[in-house]
Amino acid sequence: MNLLILSDTHIPARARDLPAPVWAAVDAADVVIHAGDWISVAALDALQARAARLVGVFGNNDGDELRARLPEVARVELSGVRFAVVHETGSSKGREKRCSAAYPDTDVLVFGHSHIPWDSTTVTGLRLLNPGSPTDRRRQPTHTWMTAEITAGALGPVTLHHL
């Protein structure tokens, strides 16, 4: 199973649309995961229309319309791997311990908010993934997103893409 992992697209505030390589990744993915800060309902509608399957949450910059359509936390099992998706996890200091305690029945936690890519595994085995942002790099050198594979009931390679 091929996954595309996005967050903090901020459309149309930071970009008019997703970059072409991200749309190509949408087309190639079995599941698109978005960790919030869409900004516009049109961005959600466009991704929903094109993705084979979409799992998403609202972020702190998302208004009432998006909050009415998306949960704060999404939980989904994909090919035997238990995912949770949330926008914010708090400060990077103590993140792994906090998230392990908050998501004990989760294999992979996808989050956003900081626009800073993150990929780590806690002592409890929880994988933490933040794809950064494909449209608003802030203080990062590039715009980023992630792709991943699930094979035989386990999360396989995770790739951070740069634009």
Query: Measuring CA to CA, how many Å separate 105 from each of 5, 25, 81, 101, 124?
Result: 20, 29, 11, 9, 10
Query: What CATH number is associated with residue 144?
Result: 3.60.21.10
Could you give the residue ranges of the DSSP H alpha helices within the chain? 20-28, 41-50, 64-69, 95-102
Q: How many CB atoms are closer than 10 A to CB 161?
A: 20
Predicted confidence (pLDDT) at residue 138 exceeds the cutoff of 90? no
* Position 127 confidence tier, pLDDT thresholds 50, 70, 90: very high
Domain residues for the domain of 6 are 2-162
Q: Tell me the average pLDDT across 30-42.
A: 97
Predicted confidence (pLDDT) at residue 14 exceeds the cutoff of 90? no
How many structural domains is the chain composed of? 1
DSSP 3-state of 147: strand
pTM, two decimals, is 0.97
pLDDT for 84 equals 98
